[in-house]
Amino acid sequence: MEVETFTLGNPITLLLERLVYLAIGIFFIVAFYTGIQRGRND
């Protein structure tokens, strides 16, 4: 059995990780929306 040294984790790194995932999600949503808009205009 492995002992986890970081049971709670660093709150700053967790916040940064969530911000990165949020930015990636927003990027894909915007890319998907602009793709739909381009498909409608053509």
Over residues 1-39, the pLDDT tens digits come to: 556 655 566 788 889 999 999 999 999 999 999 999 988
Distance from C-alpha of 35 to C-alpha of 39, rounded to nearest angstrom: 6
Range of the domain at 30: 10-42
DSSP states of 4-28 as a string?
PS-SS--HHHHHHHHHHHHHHHHHH
Residue 3 maps to a domain: no
- Would the pTM of this model clear 0.75, i.e. be above it? no
Residue 22 maps to a domain: yes
Residue 5 maps to a domain: no
Residue 19 maps to a domain: yes
Q: How many domains does the chain have?
A: 1
Residue 1 maps to a domain: no
Output the pLDDT for position 40. Answer: 79
| Residue 1, SS3 per DSSP | coil
Residue in the block written with tokens 């930015």: 23
